Amino acid sequence: MVFSTTLFVFLFLPLFLLGYYLLPFRWRSAWILLASYAFYGWWRVDFLALIILTSLWTDFFGRIIARSLRTKPQQARLALGLGVALNLLTLAYFKYADFGIDSLNAIVELLGGSGFGNANVILPIGISFYIFQASSYLIDIYRQDARPADNILDLAAYIALFPQLIAGPILRYKTLSQQFRRRSHSFAAFNEGSLRFMTGFCKKVLIADSVAPLANASFALAAPSMADAWLGTLAYSVQLYFDFSGYSDMAIGLGLMMGFRFPENFDHPYISKSISEFWRRWHISLSTWLRDYLYVPLGGNRLGRRRTYVNLLLVMLLGGLWHGAAWTFVLWGAWHGLMLALERHYHENQQGNATQGNAAQGNTTRNQLPRWLAVWQTARTMLIVMLGWVTFRAVDFSGAMAVYAGMLGLQGLAISEALAWQLSYFSLLMLGLALLLIYLSPWLRRCWQPLPSPSLSSPSTPWQTASETSVAAVSGGMSGWLATLELLIIPLFALSVLRLAANTFSPFLYFQF
């Protein structure tokens, strides 16, 4: 099932929330689990078995780890190894078996032999996400960052939690464990969740789905011109961001409606001034997962410069492969790994030990940089990211090369006839609005520091003096005006629902990860 469908918003979600709030707290995990399995099984009931099995063996190994951690650390280590290996082998089989066979066949055929038959394995949706979550549960238990789940229901509900099951954010059990045991439900949280859900919905349906045809048409051209290639890449960059961040917003919003607070997954990544900064703003849950469970165990930056570069490259290669079973994703990961390593190398050489950590992390603030430099760095980073998205989006290597050739103007300059008739005014308008939103909304957020929303329980605000009261009233007026602006989401959401009801099925890009 997908959030941006009328079935979800008109039937599944109201029924779920009705049941959730009618049930006592002790039954809510079971209700979440039931609903999540129904949500997942909507795609294929038979693959529910895999997610159930994953939950069962994760629980089994988690209990062994917790029991033997103090008394038999080797047994705990073994259980951790087995549990994580089983998870990763499952992922490897379902996601990479056919990729591996195809790659092997290519080599065998090159050497004159005949290849092997494909396994034709069905890729379970969301497997990359729930396997990572299950693995992080075992690792967090081993590292004593979290207690094991009180019961199998809580663990299964954590793994299958439907708001984030299909496309993240990747949640750590240590973040949610307390919330499964105790969380508060308030209208304020529901309100915040509603606003967040509606925002994500608009991003997906109004923007991402509108620019998608531009990207699709451009990437379908065999020999795109310069204008085709750049327009298509820009459209895809916008589509991917609004699709994925829109989904994350909806997931976070749904979580809030249930009293869960999920971590943020995107933080205006396209204003980044370096690739390092980009990875602190894009798919944050994945980048932190890779950092904590892969980069740091490999040694991180503690084993010398060369090893650091190797670790960065390796982590990004695997990160690329995580996104999809194709060499184009590996290339995309390699591109980012290379950029991260180069940035680190450049800053370490240029700025010396004193500012090594800060500069390599691109922490230079807007106030310290001249404006032209900040703009240049943002534009350069965006260019690097867009060049990477070409490989990410292309069907194969030759397709990516065709787009790069187009970008360089080797296949003509102006918009090609094959694309021209497909340029919808509406898509172009949404593309323009999206670019404005990308670069204006961080500035708007900085300008607006909202007053805390007055709660039902404490209506009086402890302002001490009359002048403070006056300032607060004026500020409250300003925040009220800006809060009103944010309420534009409501009619935009209504418009999105209208569009959804009018149009066809609207799946998410990260659906098959």
Q: Which residues bind other proteins (CB under 8 A)?
A: 5-7, 9-11, 13-15, 17-18, 41-46, 187, 190-192, 194-195, 197-198, 213, 220-222, 417-418, 420-422, 424-426, 429, 451, 453-454, 459, 461, 466-467, 469-474, 476-477, 479-480, 483-484, 487, 489-490, 497-505
Cα separation, 115 vs 141, whole angstroms: 43
3-state SS, residue 412: strand
Minimum gap (Å) between residue 509 Cβ and other proteins: 16
Minimum gap (Å) between residue 396 Cβ and other proteins: 13
Which CB sits closer to other proteins, 145 or 192?
192
Which CB sits closer to other proteins, 18 or 104?
18
Q: Which residue has the tokens 């238990």?
A: 141
Which CB sits closer to other proteins, 360 or 489?
489
Alpha-carbon separation of residue 196 from 13, 128, 190, 486 (angstroms): 15, 25, 10, 11
Which CB sits closer to other proteins, 449 or 503?
503
CB atoms within 10 A of CB 291: 14
Minimum gap (Å) between residue 221 Cβ and other proteins: 7
Cα separation, 135 vs 83, whole angstroms: 7
268 is catalytic: no
Helix (H) or strand (E) holding 153: helix 152-160
Would you state the torsion angle of the CA atoms of residues 34, 36, 37, 41, taken in this order, to the nearest 10 degrees? 140
Cα separation, 157 vs 163, whole angstroms: 11
Minimum gap (Å) between residue 206 Cβ and other proteins: 11
Minimum gap (Å) between residue 412 Cβ and other proteins: 13
Query: Where are any strands of DSSP class E within 323-378?
Result: none
Minimum gap (Å) between residue 489 Cβ and other proteins: 7
Which CB sits closer to other proteins, 116 or 426?
426
In the chain, the amino acid numbered 103 is S
3-state SS, residue 112: coil
Token pair of 337 as six digits: 């790994």
Given a contact cutoff of 8 angstroms between Cβ atoms, the answer to whether 270 and 241 are in contact is yes
Q: Considering the candidates 185, 268, 283, 323, report the single residue annotated as catalytic.
A: 323
- Per-residue burial over 469-483, b if 16 or more Cβ lie within 10 Å, else e, is eeeeeeebeebeeee
Which CB sits closer to other proteins, 196 or 336?
196
Looking at the annotation, which residues are catalytic?
Answer: 323
